[in-house]
Amino acid sequence: MTMKDKTTHFGFQDVPYQEKVKKVAGVFHSVADKYDVMNDLMSLGIHRIWKRYTIEMSGVRAGHHVLDLAGGTGDLAAKFARLVGPEGSVTLADINDSMLKVGRERLTDKGILGNVQYVQANAECLPFPDNHFDAITIAFGLRNVTDKAAALRSMYRVLKPGRPLLVLEFSKPVIKPLNPIYDTYSFKILPLIGKLITDDADSYRYLAESIRKHPDQETLKDMMRDAGFDQVDYFNLSGGIVALHRGYKL
């Protein structure tokens, strides 16, 4: 099968492999301005706790150089910028220029200027030197990547030996009674909220579908190992609705 004939999933649809990037870009162009508001509404504010836990587990400290990949509107990057201080740096990278623009505006409004750089980049082929970053985070972004294995290998390459990658992502609930409630919320309520807040139900329907297509906890753990990461483990949050995976470069 040639690349031209290859297909992949976009939510529950099968689309030509090379079209997924454009379709995902369209989703985030549409929701960028209201992305933070929607995150609060969708998670009832709990996403802030998940992200705080990710930062705590990263071990980032003063002087470190951090890559916040698929960093979107910059909520993780803002906290990392304060942790690394003037001797460190944070690179907020996102494939979507609309999200990157909103992130730059948000951080500028917060007075975070000197130690953050903004790079439009595809996670599958990161434009950074080998062994460059002290930590990499990707929060709620990996499921939108077309070739996740290539992205994990690219992250491994630019990470310093002995340093962690942290993947925060929606996953598979481990408490069975949660499943029907979660499905109703995802496929009925979430698109309705998207319609009311952003006038875009379809984008939020895609986001719900993309969660279901994302690898479960053990599968993603194996994918990280296959990419070269060591000491890979994961932590279920909110009953496995979200999981934080962590692995170290050898």
**Which pLDDT does position 34 carry in this prediction?**
65
pLDDT category of residue 183 using cuts at 50, 70 and 90? confident
Portion of the chain with pLDDT greater than 90, in percent: 59
Residue 14 pLDDT level (bands cut at 50, 70, 90): low
Residue 116 lies in a domain: yes
Residue 51's pLDDT band (boundaries 50, 70, 90)? Answer: very high
CA dist., res. 147 & res. 61, Å (int) = 31
Is there a domain that residue 31 lies in? yes
pLDDT at 21: 67
Q: Which residues contact 111 (CB under 8 A, 6 or more apart)?
A: none
C-alpha dihedral, 198 to 69 to 186 to 180, nearest 10°: -170
The confidence score (pLDDT) of residue 98 equals 86
Residue 189: inside a domain: no
CATH number at 130 reads: 3.40.50.150
- Establish if 197 belongs to a structural domain: no
pLDDT band at 15 (very low <50, low <70, confident <90, very high): low
Stretch 221-227: mean pLDDT? 98
Please give the tally of structural domains in the chain.
1
In a domain, 196, yes or no: no
Residue 187 in any domain: the answer is no
Mean pLDDT of 40-64: 90
Checking if the pLDDT of 31 tops 60, the result is no
In this structure, is residue 150 part of a structural domain?
yes
What is residue 18's predicted lDDT score, i.e. its pLDDT?
A: 66
Q: How many other CB atoms are found less than 10 A from the CB of residue 102?
A: 21
Average pLDDT, the chain: 87
Please tell me the predicted confidence (pLDDT) of residue 38: 64
The CA-atom distances, in angstroms, between 135 and each of 2, 68, 125, 154, 229 are: 36, 8, 17, 14, 13
Residue 67, domain member (yes or no): yes
Mean pLDDT of 19-43: 64
C-alpha to C-alpha distances, 39 to 48, 115, 129, nearest whole angstrom = 9, 26, 33
Domain that holds residue 69: 7-174+205-249
| Residue-level pLDDT at 233 | 98
Rg (CA), the chain: 17
